[in-house]
Amino acid sequence: IFNPLELTHILGIARLQIKELLQRDGFVRRTTILNISKEALEWVAQRGFDARMGGRALKRQIERDLTALSAEQLISTQIDTPILFDILLKSGKLTPRIRPLQFVQPAEDDWLPDL
pLDDT, tens digit (0-9, with 9 covering 90-100), for 73-108: 888 877 787 889 999 999 999 999 999 888 767 767
What is the model's pLDDT at position 114? 63
Domain limits for position 61: 7-100
Counting residues of the chain whose pLDDT is more than 70, the rounded percentage is 89
Q: What is the mean pLDDT of the chain?
A: 85
3-state secondary structure of 43: helix
What is the model's pLDDT at position 112? 66
What is the model's pLDDT at position 66? 92
What is the model's pLDDT at position 97? 93
Task: Give the CB-side neighbour count of residue 39, counting CA atoms within 13 A.
Answer: 10
**Residue 114: inside a domain, yes or no?**
no
CATH number of the domain residue 85 falls in: 1.10.8.60
- Residue 65: CB atoms within 10 Å: 17
CB 27 within 8 A of CB 79: no
User: Model-level pTM?
Assistant: 0.76
Give the residue-averaged pLDDT of 41-56: 84
Domain count, the chain: 1
